[in-house]
Structures are given as C-alpha cells and as structure tokens.
C-alpha cells in the first residue's frame, strides 16, 4: 500500500468523490486559490473550477446555512470551517437546522452535508484557538461526529461521510495533518460508527479517538516493556458510538482507561465511562479511569500548555497503578 500523509489522504478522498459525483462540491474560506488553511483542498479549484470549489466570505453561519440549503436540493456539500473554535458562530445552523431536518420533515427532506474542521490543542494557539469541542455536537441527536486517527481511516471515513445522508461533523486534529501511514489503493470506504481495535491486548483497554489514539499506542508500547499487555480501541466516531466493540474489549481485559484531549466533565470520556459501567459493570475489576485535558482554558505559555494536556506518561502510570504495579517508566 502507498504511504501518504493524513492531509494527502483527505485531499484524495475529496478529489475522488468530486470526480465520482457531480453533486459533490466544496465551500469555505480560502479553500480555492490558497488551498485551505491546512492545504487539504490545494489544487482542486484548478481541476473542478470555482463553481464546485466555492470561496465564501468569513461567515461560518452563512457557510453552514448555504450547505444545509444546498443539501436539501439534492447536492452534497462539503464545507470547511477553518477551525472548530470558529464553528460556534455557525452552531445554530448545524444544531437547529441541519441536524433536525430529516426528523422535522418526516424523512421527506435530507441534509447530507459534511462539515470538515480541524480540532485539537498545541502549538501555543492559546485559549480561543485550542479547544476540543466535538463533544458538544456528539450530544445532538441527528448529528454524526467522525474523528479519524490515521491517513487510511481519514480517507475511508471521509468518502463514506460524503456518501451518507446524515449531517456529519468531520473532525481532523491539527497535529495529524503531517502524520504518515499506509492507505489502501482503489475504492477505500469504511463503515461509519464502527470502532477499530488498533492493538490487541489482555490486561487493560485504552479507549481513545483522533490524536489520542497515537498517545494510547505509545503508552501501550511503554507498558509492554514492563510486561503489561494493553489493548487500544480507536472509537473513530463519537456518534454513532460503537459501544459494543468497547464493551467486548473491557470484558476481556476487565480494566479500562478513556483518553482524550478535551475537558473531563461532560466530555466524551464521561459518556464512554458511563456506558461501560451500564453494560459491563460486573466485568470490571476497577472503576473506569479518565485521562483528559485540565479543566482550564488552554494557556499560551509552552510549559503551562504542556501541563494542561494529557501525556503518554499519565496513561502509563495510571495503568500501572490500576494493575497494582509499583513502578513503571516511560
């Protein structure tokens, strides 16, 4: 399989879907000539023209509103919001319109839109540009929230999202764009709402999504050196949530840690922990643990930013404690 970056995998998915279906079009700020803030759409305006790669004003509400209306007429818009931090301005269109259209119209109207947006923390972007807000949207019935961790998943899930009839928030962590990985050639489509076991293990289950999956895998490597076998479950989506795969893993290992970058209270980890306790309480030898970002707006200073984000060593030390090991290094 060819190796490519996460960015290139997304680009190829968009290009292939636009070639396949003339109803697919892109819209967003600076996605044409400039190629998008993270260069995912670079070159597409040259191939498909300005009517299918639509440059918009700086108006997130307008972008999502336009996409919603276009989707109801049979088109399949893929909108880029420059960062999830800016999507708050367009939240009304997404939550009160797009997510509710199929229900309110009794299925007679659909809203097959994809909203692509970078999320995640790091690079000293400070409080207003480093938020992890996907849990807000996963709370809403009628929405899908997809968050791939690898280039192969990014391509397969984006292509599936574009073909799906539900409104979808497609979350891309900003620190993953340069991540490289093998991507299958040909028609590569993954089912939405299906988790993936990225690493088999016997002693403890590490549950994560997006960039946190890479942290979980690094923690699993460190734990293996100490004789602890960790299984890593990549959720890949927050809604639909594949709790069956999670519970199956927990029933095997009897221990679980949920890892994500967002805030702890009311975050994705809280829901996953609750579901595990509801479905696999008798299988747990220890309460479900959550390792998350600190309950503060993310600081600008490098040292404080680092202290506010979850770390691989946090996972390793917590797993060691749960399993009764006294000392585990990273």
The domain locations on the chain are 3-182, 196-322
Instruction: Please indicate, yes or no, whether the overall pTM of this predicted structure exceeds 0.85.
Output: yes
Q: Scanning the structure block, which residue is given the tokens 């999502």?
A: 64
User: What per-residue confidence (pLDDT) applies to 279?
Assistant: 97
DSSP, collapsed to helix, strand or coil, labels residue 84 as helix
- Mean pLDDT per block of 10 residues along the chain (330 residues) reads 96 98 98 96 98 97 97 97 94 95 92 96 82 95 97 98 97 96 94 98 98 98 95 98 98 97 94 97 96 93 91 95 67
Could you say which of 11, 17, 29, 129 is catalytic?
A: 129
CATH superfamily, domain at 3-182: Thiamin diphosphate (ThDP)-binding fold, Pyr/PP domains (3.40.50.970)
User: What per-residue confidence (pLDDT) applies to 19?
Assistant: 98
Compute the distance between CA of residue 243 and CA of residue 249 in angstroms, rounded to an integer: 10
Could you say which of 11, 17, 29, 60 is catalytic?
A: 60
Cα-to-chain-centroid distance, residue 90? 19
Q: Tell me, yes or no, if the two domains 3-182 and 196-322 fold the same way.
A: yes
User: What per-residue confidence (pLDDT) applies to 330?
Assistant: 46
Q: For residues 23-34, b (16+ Cβ closer than 10 Å) or e, as one string? A: bbbbbbbebbee
Q: Look up 200 and say whether it is catalytic.
A: no
- Per DSSP, what are the bridge partners of residue 24? 76
CATH topology of domain 196-322: Rossmann fold (3.40.50)
Lookup: tokens for 296: 């503060």
Q: Look up 129 and say whether it is catalytic.
A: yes
β-pair type (289-293, 256-263): parallel
Lookup: tokens for 309: 């984000």
Greatest C-alpha distance within the chain = 62
């Amino acid at each position: 399989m060819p190796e490519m970056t996460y960015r290139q995998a997304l680009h190829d998915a968009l290009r292939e879907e636009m070639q396949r279906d003339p109803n697919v079009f892109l819209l967003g700020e600076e996605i044409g000539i400039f190629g998008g803030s993270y260069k995912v759409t670079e070159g597409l305006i040259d191939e498909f023209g300005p009517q299918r790669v639509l440059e918009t004003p700086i108006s997130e509400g307008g972008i999502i509103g336009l996409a919603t209306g276009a989707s109801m007429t049979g088109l399949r818009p893929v909108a880029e919001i420059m960062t999830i931090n800016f999507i708050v301005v367009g939240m009304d269109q997404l939550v009160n319109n797009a997510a509710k259209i199929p229900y309110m119209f009794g299925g007679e109207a659909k809203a097959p839109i994809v909203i692509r947006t970078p999320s995640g923390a790091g690079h000293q972007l400070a409080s207003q540009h480093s938020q992890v807000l996907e849990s807000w949207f996963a709370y809403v019935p009628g929405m899908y929230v997809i968050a791939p961790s690898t280039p192969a998943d990014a391509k397969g899930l984006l292509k599936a999202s574009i073909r799906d009839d539900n409104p979808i928030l497609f979350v891309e962590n900003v620190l993953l764009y340069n991540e490289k990985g093998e991507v299958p050639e040909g028609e590569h489509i993954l089912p939405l709402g299906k988790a993936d076991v990225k690493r088999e293990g016997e002693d403890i289950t590490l549950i994560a999504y997006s960039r946190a999956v890479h942290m979980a895998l690094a923690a699993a490597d460190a734990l293996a050196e100490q004789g602890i076998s960790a299984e890593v479950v990549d959720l890949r989506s927050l809604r639909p949530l594949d709790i069956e795969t999670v519970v199956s893993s927990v029933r095997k290992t009897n221990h679980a840690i949920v890892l994500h970058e967002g805030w702890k209270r009311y975050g994705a980890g809280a829901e996953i922990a609750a579901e595990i306790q509801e479905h696999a309480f008798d299988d747990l030898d220890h309460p479900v643990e959550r390792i998350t970002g600190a309950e503060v707006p993310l600081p600008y200073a490098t040292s404080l930013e680092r202290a506010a984000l979850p770390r691989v060593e946090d996972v390793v030390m917590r797993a060691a404690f749960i399993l009764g090991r006294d000392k585990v290094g990273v």
